[in-house]
């Protein structure tokens, strides 16, 4: 009899919850066609030697790295900068350098087919350009063709399936998302204007293996006349490398991770200022950092939890919940990832546990 009742209940519940079928979507074109007055091919920009996919920069284009880069679905990145001759950038202590008009920041996104192998093959996905023009910074993105001979302008964004084997020998898959041109600004925005994020003093303050030898990037930029008003190196701030314990404590490295992954929005001048949660490396107010801070407009992003960070309790912290989520309505950052950055989450969890 009991079973019978359960059965009635289950049938009843099923009756209320008939699942919907996923519709099949046919793409239709709108009548108005659109064009942008910019080069349609990456090669037109004349940034790299042929063959293009070797990414050998032309003269006066310099590669650079960041101490703690943004996570983008485990994509590898190679960055270059072109600063117009004889027109150096001004050094800035806390924000991105003050780059002259004509500066181009170039970021190539790629995957290695098998990271356990020495001679793995490289697949270039997209090349993003940030160009400093008279009306401010503009972003363009170029998607590489199958043959890897050139990349083509993408206005509306694209989804590209990628597979690779990671350092642990685990096969990985992702539907890599190339942003549309407005999505670029969703992150690259400061006080309503497009801006670079990476090339700050604290991010650039590290050594790089140039063809001419190993040298600190700030020194190199100064020596080549790309950067002026540079203070002595010991006065230049330095961000720890999130994954290198020799560069900082757990707290410092976790804060570095939050700085690059979150603080472009979560700062007073950023698009997430309405949240009141500020995650810059320089933030010192614990409440603003999220400690015992209730959410403002998180909606279901709160996951039923009450505070962004509960010291000692990563499992009760909304911050971690949103970093671990893959639900578009919950996950943070909102854009640029389809996977969880497990190692980054572990680091931030450890920081909260040790609070």
Partner 1 sequence: MKQQLTLLIITILLWSCSNPSVPEVGSEWKSIEKDLQAQFITAMDSSTIVIPAGHYMFTRPLLLDGKKHLTIKGLGVDKTILSFEMQEEGAEGLKVANAVNITLQDFTIENSKGDNIKVTDTRGLTMKNIKSLWTGEPKETNGAYAFYPVLCKNVLIENCIAIGSSDAGIYVGQSDSVVIRNNESYYNVAGIESENSKWVEIYGNYSHDNTGGILVFDLPGLTQFGHTTRVFDNQVISNNFRNFAPEGNVVATVPPGTGIMLLATRSIEIFGNTIKDNRTLGTAIASYEIVEAMATSEESQLNENIKKSKRDIEYDPFPNDIYIHNNSFSNEHQFPTIENDFGLLFMMKFPFNTPEIVWDGIVSGTDDFNLCIEQEGVHFANLDAANEFEDLSEDMTPYQCVGNFVDPIF
Shortest distance (Å) from residue 169 CB to partner 1: 28
From residue 102, give the alpha-carbon distance in Å to each of 42, 132, 224, 313, 334. Answer: 17, 5, 17, 48, 30
Cβ atoms of residues 323 and 341 within 8 Å: yes
Tokens describing residue 78: 């190679």
Shortest distance (Å) from residue 27 CB to partner 1: 4
Shortest distance (Å) from residue 189 CB to partner 1: 8
Rounded (10°) angle between helices 342-353 and 250-261: 130
User: Any idea what the Cα angle at residue 222 is, between residues 221 and 225, rounded to 5°?
Assistant: 85
The helix or strand, by DSSP H or E, that contains position 322, with its residue range, turns out to be helix 318-324
Cβ proximity to partner 1, 112 vs 126, nearer residue: 126
Shortest distance (Å) from residue 163 CB to partner 1: 18
Cβ proximity to partner 1, 3 vs 119, nearer residue: 3
Q: Which residues bind partner 1 (CB under 8 A)?
A: 1, 5, 8-9, 12-13, 15-16, 22-23, 25-30, 32-36, 155-157, 159, 175, 177, 180-183, 185-186, 189, 192, 271, 273-274, 276, 285, 287-288, 292-307, 318, 327-329, 331, 334-335, 338
Cβ proximity to partner 1, 62 vs 291, nearer residue: 291
Cβ proximity to partner 1, 39 vs 303, nearer residue: 303
Closest to 138 (Cα-Cα) out of 109, 89, 105: 105
Burial of 188 (C-beta count, 10 Å sphere; 0-12/13-18/19+):
buried
DSSP 69-88: PPPSTT-EEEEEEE--TT-P
Shortest distance (Å) from residue 319 CB to partner 1: 12
DSSP secondary structure letter of residue 57: B
Cβ proximity to partner 1, 78 vs 325, nearer residue: 325
Shortest distance (Å) from residue 239 CB to partner 1: 26
Cβ proximity to partner 1, 59 vs 300, nearer residue: 300
């Amino acid at each position: 009899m009991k079973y019978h009742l359960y059965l009635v209940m289950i049938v009843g519940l099923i009756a209320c919850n008939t699942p919907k079928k996923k519709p099949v979507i046919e793409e239709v074109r709108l009548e108005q066609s659109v064009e942008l007055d910019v080069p349609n091919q990456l090669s037109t920009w004349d940034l790299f030697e042929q063959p293009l996919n070797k990414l050998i920069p032309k003269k006066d284009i310099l590669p650079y790295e960041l101490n703690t880069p943004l996570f983008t679905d485990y994509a590898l990145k190679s960055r270059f900068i072109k600063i117009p001759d004889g027109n150096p950038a001004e050094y800035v202590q806390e924000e991105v350098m003050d780059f002259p008009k004509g500066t181009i920041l170039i970021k190539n996104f790629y995957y290695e087919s098998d990271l356990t192998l020495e001679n793995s093959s490289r697949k270039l996905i997209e090349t993003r350009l940030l160009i400093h023009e008279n009306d401010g910074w503009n972003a363009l993105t170029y998607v590489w063709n199958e043959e890897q001979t050139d990349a083509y302008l993408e206005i509306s964004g694209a989804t590209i399936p990628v597979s690779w084997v990671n350092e642990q020998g685990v096969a990985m898959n992702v539907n890599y998302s190339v942003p549309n041109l407005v999505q670029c600004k969703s992150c690259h925005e400061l006080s309503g204007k497009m801006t670079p994020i990476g090339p700050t003093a604290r991010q650039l303050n590290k050594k790089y293996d140039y063809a001419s030898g190993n040298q600190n990037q700030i020194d190199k930029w100064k020596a080549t006349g790309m950067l002026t008003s540079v203070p002595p190196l010991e006065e230049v701030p330095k961000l720890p490398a999130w994954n290198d314990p020799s560069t900082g404590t757990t707290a410092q490295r976790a804060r570095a991770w939050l700085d690059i992954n979150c603080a472009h929005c979560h700062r007073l001048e950023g698009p997430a200022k309405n949240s009141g949660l500020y995650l810059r490396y320089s933030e010192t107010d614990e409440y603003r950092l999220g400690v015992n801070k209730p959410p403002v407009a998180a909606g279901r992003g709160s996951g039923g939890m009450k505070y962004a960070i509960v010291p000692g309790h990563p499992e009760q912290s909304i911050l971690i919940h949103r970093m671990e989520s893959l639900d578009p309505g919950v996950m943070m950052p909102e854009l640029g990832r389809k996977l969880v950055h497990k190692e980054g989450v572990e680091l931030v969890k450890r920081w909260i546990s040790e609070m």
